[in-house]
Amino acid sequence: MPDILYKRDIVDQIIPFLGTNNIVVLHGARQVGKTHILYLLQNYLKSQNASTHYIDLEDSRYVDLLNQGVDPFLAYLKSVGLGLDQDSKHYIFIDEIQHLSQPSPLLKLIVDHHPYLQLIVSGSSSFDIKSKFSDSLVGRTVNFEIFPLSFNEFLRFKQVNPITPVDTSYREYLSYGGYPKIVLTDDLVLKEKYLQQIIDTYVKKDIFDLAKVTEPIKFNNLIKVLASSSGQLLNMVQLGNTCDLSTSTVRHYLHILESTYVIKLVTPHSQSAKVEVSRTPKIFFYDTGLLQMLMIKKLQTENIGNIFETSIFSELVKKYGVTHINYWRNKNGNEIDFILQTNTGILPIEVKYNFNLFSPGKITPFLQKYQLSQYKVIGLRGTKSSPNFFYPWEI
C-alpha cells in the first residue's frame, strides 16, 4: 500500500454502493489509479470497523485459487482469519479481475448464495470485462469508469501551495497530463520515461494482444496519426489509406483503443440529420501527456496544437461523463467544440486557448436554432471580458 493515499473524487460516488448486494466494478486504463482507489475504499471500511480482505490477481497464485471456484475461495478466506459471520458484511477487494479465466460463475455464485460477501473488483479495460463477464451478471454489478486525475485531483496530489497561481498549475497539468505516477514525479526525464513505459507495456503490448495486431508498424503509424488528430473529425477511409489498412481493420483497432480508454470517438449532436451534417465522429485522447508522447515522443512545456482542447474534453468527461458530450457542425461549416447534455438542457462550449480569439458569430447559429441564451467559452489566456468566459478550473 502506498505511504500516502490521496483522495479521488469518485470515491464519494462509490461509497453509497458499499453494503449493498451489488458487485462494485472499477474499470479503466492501466496506471490511472484503480488500485489506489481500492485501497482508499478499504481504508474507509476499516474506519467503519468493517471486515475486509484484499487480493491482487497480478499474483498468479491467487488466480489459480479463484479459478478453482467458490468453495476453495471460501476456504481461503477462512484461512486468513475471516470468520465469515453471515450476519454482517465482509468486503473482498479483487484487483485485476480480468486475469481470471471465467470470472462470471464465481461472481454470480457469491452474489446469489453468499450475500454476506460484497466484492469490489477492478479490471484494466471495458473490453476485458465485457468479454469475460457474461449476461448472468446483468443487474448484479454497478460500474465505475476510472480516468486519469482531474485538475482538482492534480492539485490535491501535488499538494499545491495556495499562493501558487492556479493558471501556472493548470499549464503544468496541461503539459504533462493526469496519470498519477507522472503527476507525483517532478523530473521531466522521468515523466517521459514513465509515460513511455505505459505506452510500451500497455498501448503496444496489451492492446496488441487484444486487437490481435498482425502488422505492428501499421498499427503504430495509426496511433501516431490519431494522436496528431485529437480534436479533429475522423475520416476512417482516409485514415485507412494513410496507414495502409482496410476500413474494417481501422474500425476494429479504434474499438479496442476506445475500450481500453486510450481514445474516445465523440459523435455529433443533431436533431435534424438533413441540416446538421455528418455522423462523422471527432477523436479525442483522454490524457494530454500520453497524447504528446505518442505524437512527438516528448513532453512540451508550452501548449501546442490540439493539446488544450483535448484537456478540456478530458475535464468534461471526468465531471459530467463521456456519454453527455457531443459536438455540433452544420452544412455551412459552423462548428461548436462541445455540446454538453445537462439536467436542464444542452450547453454549447467553445474552447479557445486565448479568449481574445473567440468570435461570437461562430456560436450564434446554434443559439438561434435551439433558442438558447447560455453558452461557455473556456480559455486560459487573454482578457476574460464576458460572463460567458470561464477558466478550465471553473467548468
Same domain, 204 and 230: yes
Are residues 113 and 170 located together in one domain of the fold?
no
Are residues 283 and 188 located together in one domain of the fold? yes
DSSP-assigned letters across all residues of 339-383: EEEETTEEEEEEE-SBGGG--GGGTHHHHHHHT----EEE-SBS-
Helices H / strands E in the chain, number of each: 17, 12
Domain shared by 56 and 170, yes or no: no
User: Does any domain span residue 3?
Assistant: no
Residue 278 confidence (pLDDT): 58
Instruction: Flag whether 45 is in a domain.
Output: yes
What per-residue confidence (pLDDT) applies to 351? 96
* Residue 119 falls inside a structural domain: yes
Q: Is 28 a residue whose pLDDT tops 80? A: yes
pLDDT at 34 over 90: yes
Q: What single-letter amino acid sits at 211?
A: A
Task: Clarify whether residues 164 and 257 are in a common domain.
Answer: yes
The enclosing domain of 125 has a CATH number of: 3.40.50.300
193 and 228 part of one domain: yes
The mean pLDDT value for 9-31 works out to 94
- Domain ends where: 118, 146, 174? 146
pLDDT tens across 250-290, in order?
A: 999 999 899 889 999 999 987 655 544 457 899 999 999 99
**What is the pLDDT averaged over residues 236-261?**
93
Question: Which pLDDT belongs to residue 272?
Answer: 59
| 383 assigned to some structural domain | yes
If asked whether residues 109 and 236 sit together in one domain, one would say: no
Is 108 inside any structural domain? yes
What is the grid cell recorded at 124?
A: 484494466
Give the end of a domain, one of 79, 114, 146: 146
Contacts of 372 (CB under 8 A, 6+ apart): 345, 346, 348, 366
Across 123-149, average pLDDT: 80
CA–CA distance from 107 to each of 138, 142, 334 (Å)? 11, 13, 50
3-state secondary structure 195-255: HHHHHHHHHHHHHHHHHCCCCHHHHHHHHHHHHHCCCCECCHHHHHHHHCCCHHHHHHHHH
Whether residue 24 is contained in a domain is answered as yes
Q: Is the domain of 387 the same as that of 339? A: yes
Identify which of 165, 217, 196, 117 has the alpha carbon closest to the alpha carbon of residue 391.
165
Least confident range from 28-32, 234-238, 347-351: namely 28-32
Higher-confidence residue of 15 and 203: namely 15
The verdict on 75 and 136 lying in the same domain is yes
pTM of the predicted structure, to 2 decimals: 0.91
Residues 244, 321, single domain; the answer is yes
Using the 3D structure, point to which of 146, 163, 189 is the last residue of a domain. Answer: 146
Average pLDDT value over all residues in the chain: 90
Section 333-356 average pLDDT: 92
Q: Which amino acid is at 250?
A: V
Residues 304 and 187 in one domain: yes
Residue 2 located in a structural domain: no
363-384 residue pLDDT tens: 998 999 899 999 999 999 999 9
Q: How far apart are CA 6 and CA 12, in angstroms?
A: 13
Residue 253 lies in a domain: yes
Average pLDDT of span 339-357 = 93
Query: Can you tell me the mean pLDDT for 60-76?
Result: 95
Regarding whether 155 and 142 lie in a shared domain, the answer is no
Q: Is residue 347's pLDDT more than 90?
A: yes
**Does 60 score more than 60 pLDDT?**
yes
Rounded to the nearest 5 degrees, what angle is found at the Cα of 236, between the Cα atoms of 27 and 29? 15
- Which of 48-57, 87-96, 118-127, 183-192 is the least confident region? 118-127
Task: State the DSSP string of 102-148.
Answer: -HHHHHHHHHHH-TTEEEEEEES-HHHHHHHS-GGGTTTEEEEEE-S
Query: What is the predicted pLDDT for the residue at 275?
Result: 46
> For the chain, what is the domain count?
2
* Full residue range of the structural domain in which residue 20 is found: 11-146
| 209 pLDDT above the threshold of 50 | yes
> CB–CB of 65/72 below 8 Å?
yes
Q: Judge whether 5 and 43 are in contact, CB under 8 Å.
A: yes
Output the nine-digit C-alpha cell for 20.
449493498
At 210, is the pLDDT very low, low, confident or very high (cuts 50, 70, 90)? confident
